[in-house]
A and B are shown apart, each in its own frame.
Chain A
Amino acid sequence: MTEQNEILLDELKHLVSERALTGETMLLNMGPQHPSTHGVLRLLLELDGEIVVNCIPDIGFLHTGIEKNMEAKTYQKAEVMTDRMDYLNTVGNNLVYCLAVEKLVDLDVPPRAQTIRVLLTELTRIASHLLWMGTSALDLAAMSVFLYAMREREMILDILEMVSGARMMTTYIRPGGLWRDVPVEFEEAVANFINILPGRLDEYESLLTTNALFLERTEGIGVITTQQCIQWGITGPVLRATGLPYDLRKARPYSGYEQYDFDIPTATGGDIYSRYRVRVAEVRQSLRIVRQALDRLPYGPVRSNNRKFVPPPRSELSTSMEAVIQHFKLWTEGFPAPKGSVYAAIESPRGELGFLIEGNGGSRPQRVFYRGPTFANLQIMPLLSKGHFVADLVGIIGSIDIVLGDCDR
């Protein structure tokens, strides 16, 4: 056992302060399996009593080699793996992959598909923020919020299941549009959900927002400034909680977001409490977008007609020879993509989520790079946690909203 510890110290001598080497501060391992690390994150803490002097994150415990695996599959079949990267924002992952592939091969998307894409992405954002609220309040010992927040999340998962067959890993958004049209019960279910959520959200806010214990544990903890955020490449609610209204849905709109009317909530303060306020306000803005999308749902096809990239509907396979040939070619060989690289990004609940896809003329990608917001946001852990107690560390990790799937891929 001691040899293991000594090797550890040798490797990290340049990261810990001199006080650790003399034994004045203690090195504690907040291991990969811990109830509040939100996944498998390992933190090496250098503690002076209970105060954190330095905090070194160690990631890679969920590395799945998805990028290399996607290089071995065709563009359509590789999409299945994109759901599993940021597993709380599954529809968003599919969306950004399809946006990148569509940009690469220059494929059009019909307006009905764009509206439904926006609707489902915003519902997923609400689901992700609800889960965040439940788990980070659970970390700060507000246990009942977790049970309440999962109620609404179940309603959203029921809608996703109605539409695609799967609760979480839907792969419903495909290059060229959607997999198939939404069923007839969809509009009623979404309308029902929109009516229920605002009242429930007020209930959850009444549990936390003016709660003296919650305020004491979150105000002034884990503060970061806008300048530091930009330097470290932090985007998402963490950046918006410092005051800068930067949201990719307004700055570089995609999938028709410029037609919707919504605000970008910000807060000043840059601490855990501001991030909480920003995320709850974002849920309300997402509800606005969902309402507008539901009202303006146009009629029309849900997938592009371009048979070079989009397989024909199965009903055509029994009547048309070309459809059989196109279907066969697309599912065995896949479609070829030109040489060149594109980058497409969306605003995920955690920040800027992007895909860099490089094609090489063949049907398999040359390189797929997933720019995960958590990989960038976790780098500021040492900055945020210096000088705070270990108990505050738990709150800070919760407030950055990490999902190790998109950090380690």
Chain B
Amino acid sequence: MGIEQKLGNLGISTLTLDQAVKWARTNSMWPMLFGLACCAIEMMSAQASNFDMSRFGMELMRASPRQSDLMIVAGRVSRKMAPVLRRLYDQMPDPKWVIAMGDCASCSGVFNNYALAQGVDEIVPVDVYVAGCPPRPEALIHGIITLHEKVRSRDQTGRSDHGKELAEREQQMITGARGA
């Protein structure tokens, strides 16, 4: 505490390595261009000048998965597109995050039929779901800020541990059933 006050106005700040890494990760998270359908148009609107996403560090939208760390799945994922999505997710280097933008990516939205994957979390683990059909650009930016807070507040790399939660819940249901 004391050293920060002493050196504060010299332009030096002290923090833990963890905090520094998380600050760097959140402030320059590069999204991968994965606009599929109508939500892609709202994502483009969010990137354009009215609701600027570059204020949050997302100046570029990288087309190559090898150079990006955030995949915003914007739009409906059909059964034909699902293997492509998985392959691109696998090509992204760690740490990586996924935002499911829109109703179709979260839960297949209006379309409950044979042709769509019912929610993109059947294919990739999702960190933040943004609701809306399509979500307003402000809603998408709110989702991105939520993701930033999630990354800053976690103790590990920031990867989704939805799988761990699911496994715990499954275990509870099984032991609960056996107990009852």
Listed in ascending order, the chain A residues whose CB lies under 8 Å from chain B are: 31-35, 39-40, 60-66, 68-69, 80-81, 84, 87-88, 131, 135, 146-147, 150-151, 153-154, 157, 167-169, 404-405, 408
Contact = CB atoms under 8 A, between A and B. Distances in A.
B62 to A, nearest CB: 9
B49 A168 contact: no
Contact of B84 (A31, A87, A408): A31
Given A33-B33, A168-B42, A61 B113 contact: no
Interface residues of B, number: 33
B84 to A, nearest CB: 5
Contacts of A157: 45
A87 B44 CA distance: 13
Contact of A33 (B45, B49, B84, B114): B84
Contact of A151 (B37, B49, B111, B136): B49
B44 A150 contact: yes
B88 interface: yes
10 contacts: A33-B63, A35-B63, A39-B35, A39-B40, A40-B81, A63-B80, A64-B115, A64-B116, A135-B44, A150-B44
Contacts of A40: 36, 81
B175 interface: no
A32 B34 CA distance: 10
A63 B115 contact: yes
A46 to B, nearest CB: 21
9 closest residue pairs by CB, A with B:
A65-B115, A150-B48, A87-B38, A35-B63, A65-B113, A61-B81, A154-B50, A147-B49, A69-B113
A64 B78 contact: yes
Given A68-B113, A150-B48, A151-B50, A84 B80 contact: no
Contact of B134 (A66, A80, A169, A404): A169
Contacts of A31: 84
Given A40-B81, A60-B80, A154 B115 contact: no
Contact of A65 (B35, B63, B116, B136): B116
Contacts of B88: 33
Contacts of A62: 36-37, 75-76, 78, 81
Contact of A32 (B48, B81, B115, B133): B81
Given A31-B84, A62-B81, A169-B133, A153 B45 contact: yes
A61 B49 contact: no
B73 to A, nearest CB: 11
A110 B59 CA distance: 48
Contact of B110 (A68, A80, A147, A153): A80
Contacts of A33: 33-34, 63, 84, 88
A408 B41 CA distance: 17
A122 B40 CA distance: 22
Contacts of B41: 87-88, 131, 168
A168 B136 CA distance: 9
B37 A81 contact: no
Nearest to A34: B63
A405 B115 CA distance: 14
A154 to B, nearest CB: 5
A63 B114 CA distance: 10
A88 B42 CA distance: 11
B36 A39 contact: yes
User: Most B CB atoms within 10 A — which of A84, A135, A408?
Assistant: A84
B37 A87 contact: yes
Contacts of B78: 60-64, 408
Contact of A167 (B33, B35, B36, B136): B136
Contacts of A135: 44
Nearest to B134: A168
Given A84-B37, A88-B41, A169-B134, 16 more contacts: A33-B88, A34-B63, A39-B40, A62-B75, A62-B81, A63-B78, A64-B76, A64-B113, A65-B115, A69-B112, A69-B113, A147-B48, A150-B44, A150-B49, A168-B134, A404-B37
Contacts of B111: 64-66, 69, 81
Interface in B97-123: 110-116
Contacts of A60: 78, 80
Contacts of B113: 64-65, 68-69
A168 B33 contact: no
A119 B81 CA distance: 37
Interface in B46-70: 48-50, 61, 63
B114 A65 contact: yes
A14 to B, nearest CB: 22
A68 B136 CA distance: 28
User: Most A CB atoms within 10 A — which of B33, B80, B112?
Assistant: B80
User: Most B CB atoms within 10 A — which of A35, A60, A63, A64?
Assistant: A64
User: Most A CB atoms within 10 A — which of B63, B76, B115?
Assistant: B115
Contacts of B76: 62, 64
Nearest to A72: B113
Given A33-B84, A35-B63, A150 B37 contact: no
Nearest to A88: B41
B156 to A, nearest CB: 29
